[in-house]
Amino acid sequence: MNPSAPASDRPAEGAPPATFSPEVFGKYFLVDKIAMGGMAEIFKAKTFGHGGFENLLVIKRILSHLSDNEQFVRMFMDEAKVSALLQNANIVRIYDFGKLRENYFIAMEHVEGKDVKLILRKLAERRKLLPREFAVYIAMEAAKGLDYAHKRTTLQGQPLSIVHRDVSPSNLLVSYSGEVKVADFGIVKAANCAEDTDAGMLKGKFEYMSPEQASGRELDRRSDIFSLGIILHEMLTGRRLFKSDDEIKTLERIKSGDVDPPSTLNPSVPARLDEIVLRALSKDAGDRYQDARELHADLLEFLYPASPDLTQQSLAHFMAELFADEVGQERNRLEEGTRLALALHEAHQSVDLEPEWEEESPSTRTRGGTRVDAPPPAPAAKVPYVVAGLALLFAVATAAFFLTRPGPEPLAPVVSSEAAGLQTGAVQLKVGPVAGTVVVDGVSAGEGVEVTVSDLAPDTEHTVEVTADGYAPFTEKFTVAAGERVRLPVNLVKAAAPVEPTRSDVGRTPRAAEPPPGEVNVAIAAFSSNPTGADVFVDGKLVGKTPVAWDNGVAGNRYSVEYRLSGHETVRFTAALPRAGGREPYERTLVERAKADGKLSVNVSGGWAEVFVDGKKIGDTPIFGYTLAAGSYTVRARNEGIGLDQTKQVTVKAGETASLPFSAN
- The residue among 58, 9, 51 whose CA lies nearest residue 31 is 58
Give the side-chain half-sphere CA count within 13 A for 619.
14
Provide the 3-class DSSP secondary structure of residue 646: strand
Residue pair 193/162 in contact (Cβ under 8 Å)? The answer is no
How many Å separate Cα 25 from the centre of its chain? 28
Query: What residues have CB less than 8 Å from 373, skipping those under 6 apart?
Result: 363, 364
Q: State phi, psi for 273 to the nearest 5 degrees.
A: -70, -35
Q: At what angle do helices 308-322 and 116-125 cross, to 10 degrees?
A: 60
How many Å separate Cα 81 from the centre of its chain? 18
Q: At what angle do helices 292-303 and 132-150 cross, to 10 degrees?
A: 150
DSSP 60-103: EEE-GGGGG-HHHHHHHHHHHHHHTT---TTB--EEEEEEETTE
- The residue among 325, 277, 266, 338 whose CA lies nearest residue 114 is 325
Counting DSSP H helices and E strands in the chain, the numbers are 11, 33
List, as own/partner pairs, every contact residues 533-538 make where C-beta atoms lie below 8 angstroms and the sequence separation is at least 24, other chains included. 533/565, 534/563, 534/564, 534/565, 534/568, 534/571, 534/590, 535/563, 535/564, 535/565, 536/561, 536/562, 536/563, 537/561, 537/562, 537/564, 538/509, 538/575
- Distance, in Å, from the CA atom of 294 to the CA atom of 312, rounded to the nearest integer, reads 21
Task: Pick the catalytic residue from 32, 78, 166, 535.
Answer: 166
Give yes or no: 166 in active site: yes
The residues that are catalytic are 166
